[in-house]
Amino acid sequence: MRKYKLLSIILAFVLVFSLSVPTAHAAPSITVTTLSVDMSGAGKIIGYIQGAPKETEVTLLITCGSDIVHIDQITAGNNGSFLFKLKVNAKYSEKKINVNIGSNAGATPYSVTYTLPYMPPGFEHIDNNSVIYGHDAYTANSIYLADSLTVTDSIIYGGNIIYFKIGDKWYDLMNPKATSSAFFVAENATPNATVKAKTAPLRYYYYGGKIVDFAKE
């Protein structure tokens, strides 16, 4: 009888240890915390690779059917974090895209299907933190915004109209009240339809280092 008693205790301990002994080292894993694309087509994907070694390379591939919508590679930052910024073409408006993220850290690739929002071309395709001079739009970081000749040309072509977009709202920088950041609150915003009418037809979008022709968009 003692034999059975001993056997049952041994079996119980075997069962307990087999279920509770922790894994020595978990493989790196990819977690995405933010995946968003707004009406302008501006998107960002933020996440981290748990357990990633320093300088892990992270790759992003976004496809829509057989089309490559976006492809990029970056070095992971602190804590294995990554940030991808994208600008999705308006032609993919409301379509389903496949977002794939991989790395050289041995993590299982991350893959998800995401439905893009309504993204009309033209006026609505202008990002936040952009400015319109006349009929030309500029991102704030555009190299052309620093070029006086380009901006002067925009004003000569389209008139002395200057609007700034932030928080999906437009603000008239020619308004005498637009002297500080306190102006950029909803009650001071100009209706989108007004800005759209005054700046139409849009000519160029100086996007970072690129020039996008609105007519060919």
Partner 1 sequence: MDKKSIASGAAAVVLATGLALTPAVTDVDVTEPEVIEEVIIEETEVSEDAEEVTEESSKTEKTETEETKTEKPVITEPKQPHLEAEKPTYEDYTTEIGYSFTYESERAKTITIDVPDYLSADIVTMYVNGAEVNTVLLPGNPNFTTIPVVFEDLSNIEFKLYRMGEEIGTARFIDDILKTNAKAVE
What's the min distance (Å) between Cβ of 16 and partner 1?
Answer: 5
Is the Cβ–Cβ distance between 92 and 69 less than 8 Å? yes
List the beta bridge partners of residue 131: 138, 164
What's the min distance (Å) between Cβ of 111 and partner 1?
Answer: 19
What's the min distance (Å) between Cβ of 191 and partner 1?
Answer: 17
What's the min distance (Å) between Cβ of 215 and partner 1?
Answer: 24
- Residue number with CB closer to partner 1 (15 or 215): 15
Is the Cβ–Cβ distance between 115 and 94 less than 8 Å? yes
Q: Residues, the chain, total?
A: 217
Burial label, 96 (beta-carbon count in 10 A; 0-12, 13-18, 19+): exposed
Residues found near partner 1 in the complex (CB under 8 A): 1-2, 4-5, 8-9, 11-13, 15-16, 19-23, 25-26, 29, 31, 33-34, 44, 46-48, 50-51, 74, 77-79, 81-83, 85, 128-129, 131, 138, 140-141, 145-148, 151, 164, 166-169, 173, 178-185
Is the Cβ–Cβ distance between 80 and 56 less than 8 Å? yes
